[in-house]
């Protein structure tokens, strides 16, 4: 049976030397898509955001070798819009998951505590995130 062990959503690990350029291009491709965070910690704890916000930008910071990633999203209500900035510090890995249509489904960021911070996007295929 071919494909039995293949991941449901193909994933690509991004090399550290490409993080900055990849995140810039990723931001451009995914601007204004609805997204929410899921966090999986090394001790087995899982947290999922209740509400989605609209993705605006993701960028890399490097301060004396300590890398962090900043994610900016916009929460839109009927009357107003507010920006949310989330910072993931001590980044050790970045990967992207793809949906069945080849669109980017999730941005995975791993920190030095081995937590997996996943920014999951609304699917272009079925509208689910």
Query: How does pLDDT run across 26-62, given as a tens digit for each residue?
Result: 999 999 999 999 999 999 999 998 888 999 999 999 9
pLDDT band at 5 (very low <50, low <70, confident <90, very high): very low
The whole-number pLDDT of residue 76 equals 87
The whole-number pLDDT of residue 7 equals 46
Pick the CATH number of 11-121 from 2.40.160, 2.60.120, 1.10.3470, 2.70.180: 2.70.180
Give the residue extent of every domain in the chain.
Answer: 11-121
* Element at 20 (helix H, strand E): helix 19-30
Nearest to 9 by CA among 75, 104, 111: 104
CA separation, residue 86 to residues 16, 83, 107, 128 (Å): 20, 10, 14, 22
Q: pTM value?
A: 0.85
Q: Distance between CA atoms of 36 and 52, rounded to whole angstroms?
A: 5
The whole-number pLDDT of residue 75 equals 92
Q: Distance between CA atoms of 35 and 49, rounded to whole angstroms?
A: 10
Q: Distance between CA atoms of 48 and 28, rounded to whole angstroms?
A: 25
């Amino acid at each position: 049976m071919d494909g039995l062990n293949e991941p449901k959503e193909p994933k690509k690990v991004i090399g550290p030397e490409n993080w900055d350029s990849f995140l810039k291009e990723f931001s451009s491709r995914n601007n204004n898509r609805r997204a929410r965070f899921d966090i999986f910690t090394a001790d087995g704890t899982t947290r999922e955001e209740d509400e989605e916000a609209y993705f605006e930008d993701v960028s890399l910071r490097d301060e004396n070798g300590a890398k962090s990633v900043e994610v900016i999203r916009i929460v839109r209500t009927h009357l107003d819009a507010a920006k949310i900035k989330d910072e993931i510090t001590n980044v050790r890995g970045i990967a992207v998951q793809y949906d069945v249509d080849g669109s980017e489904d999730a941005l995975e960021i791993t920190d030095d505590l081995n937590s997996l911070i996943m920014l999951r996007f609304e699917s272009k295929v079925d509208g689910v995130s």
